[in-house]
Structure 1
Amino acid sequence: MTGTVVRVKGVKRYFEPKTGKWYAYHRKSGKRLKAAFGSSEFFAELEAINAESKGMEAKPGTLGALIVSYRGSADFKSLKARTKSDYEKVLEYLRPLAPSPLSELTQGWVARLRDKTFEKRKRKFANYVLTVLSILFEHGIEQELVPANPVSKVKRVRKASDAAEANRPWLDYEREAVTGALPAHMALPVALMMYCGLDPQDALQLPRTAVSEGRLDTRRGKTGVPVWVPLPGPVIDALAAEPKHRATTLTLCANSYGKPWTVSGFRASWRPIRQKLEKEGKVQPGLTLKGLRHTVATILREMGKDYSTIADMLGQKTEAMAKHYSRRADTSKKMAQTVSEFEAEVNRRKTKDV
């Protein structure tokens, strides 16, 4: 039986890969509808929002009009689903400021918005708001809606000097400890992250067709960059040991119920394993699944691989990102050589003095 696709006028739906769910937004106001799509509660909520937003069309020359213009642009429509979803979160955050005249959105206004956002939502989101705002204004310049980009000279929020390193590379004994503690249905996704450098989301949503004849042929979800690598031995072993599931013919990995993983579901299963290993002293604090991409880059750099090769392995567009991911390997190698030379010089001077 074929399902009927229902479209509701004035409502925009989009899929959020991180949660594996569909969300609905009221186009005019930008408000998210919380009730289940198509339910009586959904239409009651929609009617209330329609009544509330009646006559609230975005006025020309306002931030709201700029957002509407950008949402209708080819640039926005061509974004990857994951990126578009991230942008929508910022646009929803900016919705209360929609009536603000563009002429009043100065560098100082942007700086104050950054500071308030930092207080409410911390550093990462505050900086991401600046990124999306800058994209909005660049679009506005192109469409001759604004003369300049007031975000261009506003500084990002700096990371605190005592803040822990985000997504640090895993140590060898940590990789071994985690591998030994994983249940069967989690082994394959982690192996794909650990040995192929896949993002957690890409590993969990990898289609069956991406693996064939001992090779991985896919694209990174965030950048669309192709990733083609022969499967390492541990991944082949994990494939062979993967519990059989009938959940779907599309995804390679499945949870303990035989259903496709969601990122939030996998992290919920991963958290108690990590916490138990931390308590037992088998891993250090700060272990993240995303850190496995940094681990792959670090190991490759320590092997002497160049940034181009690392970028190809990780599906990155630029060598700059490969350098960022492998920065700990470069520092470690340089410091090892520096300390060795320093020790030799100290010993030389000591001998000379004697």
Structure 2
Amino acid sequence: MTGTVVRVKGIKRYFEPKTGKWYAYHRKSGKRLKAEFGSPEFFAELEAINAEAKSQEAKPGTLAALIESYRRSAGFQSLKTRTKSDYQKVLEYLKPLGPSPLSELSQGWVARLRDKTFEKKKRKFANYVLTVLSILFEHAIEQETMTVNPVSKVKRVRKATDAPEANRPWMDFEREAVAVALPAHMRLPIALMMYCGLDPQDALTLPRTAVSKGRLDTRRGKTGVPVWVPLPSPVVEALEEEPKHPATTLTLCANSYGKPWTVSGFRASWRPIRQKLEEESKIQPGLTLKGLRHTVATILREMGKDHATIAEMLGQKTEAMAKHYSRRADMSKKMAETVSEFEAEVNRRKTKNV
């Protein structure tokens, strides 16, 4: 007589040699069932887990269902890893609002969410929530679950007029002061940011294969735009002086432990150096690593390079971003010409009156 094989839908079983026992897991929730497989207690426990899982399922026509649909879409799946991670933060933030019916997500609902997010998370995140929400609603329109995008007429939070400039360009004396103060393992990453205009994330994770025969050949992590530049001599020197470490087989730069940098780890090492230089009045407040991209754009613009060239060097998709990064140089040049013309006009009038 052969034993009866019991098959239970939604359950995964496996044998653990160390304990000599069989275990059962609920596939959808990942929970392990404690009762003995096949027993009345087992099926009662399974029924309770199924009921709980069902109650947590997104109901059709809700924000939660829209988020699930978007996460499965080709548009979301084709995003760059970094962008996808940024979107995920917003989607997790919206999770408590999941039960909200799409029919109730009006322009006013979005505006109230913007204001509440601004109070909790400040301006940048509040505006990013609007961006991701707009993408979600466009997906809903495409899937014919909504007919309008309620974000379209909601204004972004404006920057305060007295707020300091974000990621301002570094002054020449600041670049020199920082270069002198850096320890050996931080010189190469800063040189890549300072002379090649790389974003901190891109500089720190740059693979060793990206540098060959004195040239940098890579892609911008955020946009995927190719970046190809001959290495300036300060970068070549920093590369030659870079301490040898096991991580060089993976990344070009490594921390003092010989391991690949993380952005948070590098910022933690950079912070005390910046603070000390500020205390010694060798740099002014407001210096950021991201500001080095603005510095490169500003210097190039002051040299007379056009926005297309700047965009190519920085790996930007549009000239508009290059214009944004180099706006201080454009303003400085324009004002210098204006003041010079103004002074000449004042002097002309003096002569005329005499």
| TM-score, normalisation: structure 2 | 0.85
Tell me which residue corresponds to 1:304. Answer: 304
2:352 maps to 352
**Matches of 1:320 and 1:298, distance apart in 2:** 14
CA contact 1:298–1:328 (8 Å) conserved in 2: yes
Alpha-carbon distance between aligned partners in 2 of 1:28 and 1:108, rounded to the nearest angstrom: 36
Q: 1:121 to 1:28 in 2, by over 3 A?
A: farther
Residue in structure 1 matched with residue 91 of structure 2 by the alignment: 91
Deviations for 1:95-144, whole angstroms, at most 9, x for unmatched residues? 00000000000001000000000001000000000000000001111111
CA distance in 2, matches of 1:247, 1:222: 23
1:339 maps to: 339
- Shift of the 340–215 alpha-carbon distance from structure 1 to 2, 3 Å rule, reads same
1:52–1:198 CA distance, 2 compared to 1 (3 A): farther
CA, structure 1 residues 154+183, in 2 after alignment: closer, same or farther (shift >3 Å)? same
**Are residues 246 and 61 of structure 1, via their aligned partners in 2, closer, same or farther at CA, if it must alter by over 3 Å?**
same
Deviation at 1:279, TM superposition (A): 0.7
SS at match of 1:251: coil
Contact 1:28 1:57 in 2 (8 A): no
Cα distance in 1 for residues equivalent to 2:89 and 2:240: 40
**Distance between the aligned counterparts of 2:165 and 2:52, measured in 1?**
45
Distance 2:145 2:51 in 1: 30
- Partner Cα distance (1:343, 1:261) in 2: 52
**C-alpha contact (below 8 Å) 1:206/1:251 kept by paired residues:** yes
| CA deviation map 1:270-292 (0-9, x unaligned) | 00000111111111000000000
**2:219 pairs with 1:214:** no
Aligned-partner Cα distance in 2 for 1:106–1:319: 35
Say how many residue pairs are matched.
311
Residue of structure 2 equivalent to 1:225: 225
**RMSD of aligned Cα (Å):** 1.8
Give, in angstroms, the shift of residue 247 of structure 1: 2.7
Shift of residue 151 of structure 1? Answer: 0.2
Partner of 2:137 in structure 1?
A: 137
Match of 2:322 in 1: 322
Q: In the alignment, which residue of structure 2 is the partner of 1:173?
A: 173
- Look up the equivalent residue of 1:115 and give its one-letter code: D
Question: Which residue does 2:16 correspond to in 1?
Answer: none
Q: Distance in 2 between matches of 1:168 and 1:188?
A: 21
| 1:245 maps to 2:245 | yes
Partner of residue 280, structure 1: 280
CA contact (8 A) 1:247 1:254 kept: yes
SS for the counterpart of 1:108 is helix
Question: Which of these two proteins has the greater Rg computed from alpha carbons?
Answer: 2
Matching residue's letter, 1:184: A
Secondary structure, in 3 states, of the residue corresponding to 2:246?
Answer: coil
Task: Specify the alignment match of 1:67 in structure 2.
Answer: 67
Equivalence for 1:256: 256
Alpha-carbon distance change, 112 to 184 in structure 1, aligned in 2, over 3 angstroms: same
For the structure 1 residues 123 and 110, does the alpha-carbon distance in structure 2 shift closer, same or farther, using more than 3 Å as the test?
Answer: same
> Following the alignment from structure 1 to structure 2, what is the Cα–Cα distance between the partners of residues 220 and 260?
18
- 2:229 match: secondary structure: strand
Q: Which residue does the alignment assign to 1:81?
A: 81
Is 1:184 aligned to residue 184 of structure 2?
Answer: yes
Query: Following TM superposition, where does structure 1 have runs of at least 4 consecutive aligned residues deviating by more than 2 angstroms?
Result: 49-54
Equivalence for 1:12 = none
Shift in CA distance, 349/220, structure 1 to aligned 2, threshold 3 Å:
same
Return closer, same or farther for 1:116/1:52 CA change in 2, 3 Å cut-off: farther
Secondary structure of the corresponding residue to residue 55 of structure 2: coil
Residue 351 of structure 1 deviates from its aligned partner by: 1.9
Q: Which amino acid aligns with 1:228?
A: W
Q: Secondary structure at the match of 1:227?
A: strand
Q: Is the 8 A contact 2:208 2:248 kept in 1?
A: no
Q: 1:346 to 1:228 in 2, by over 3 A?
A: same
Counterpart for residue 23 of structure 1: none
Cα deviations by residue, 1:173-217 (Å, 9 ceiling, x for unpaired): 100010011000000000000000000010000000000000000
State whether residues 70 and 139 of structure 1, in contact with CA within 8 Å, keep that contact through their aligned partners in structure 2: yes
Structure 2, unaligned runs of 5 or more: 1-9, 11-26, 30-48
CA deviation string 1:303-345 (max 9, x = no partner): 1111111000000001110000000000000000001111111
TM superposition score normalised by structure 1:
0.85
Contact 2:298 2:329 in 1 (8 A): yes
| Corresponding residue number in structure 1 for 2:22 | none
Q: Which amino acid aligns with 2:65?
A: A
Instruction: Trace 1:192-207 onto structure 2 (pairs within 5 A).
Output: 192-207=192-207
Partner of 1:111: 111
Secondary structure, aligned partner of 1:247: helix
Aligned identity (percent) is 85
Q: SS at the partner of 1:218?
A: strand
Distance 1:120 1:347, change over 3 A: same
Distance 1:74 1:307 in 2: 33
Contact 1:134 1:151 in 2 (8 A): yes
Shift of 1:232: 0.4
- Rounded Cα–Cα distance in structure 1 between residues aligned with 2:209 and 2:52: 47
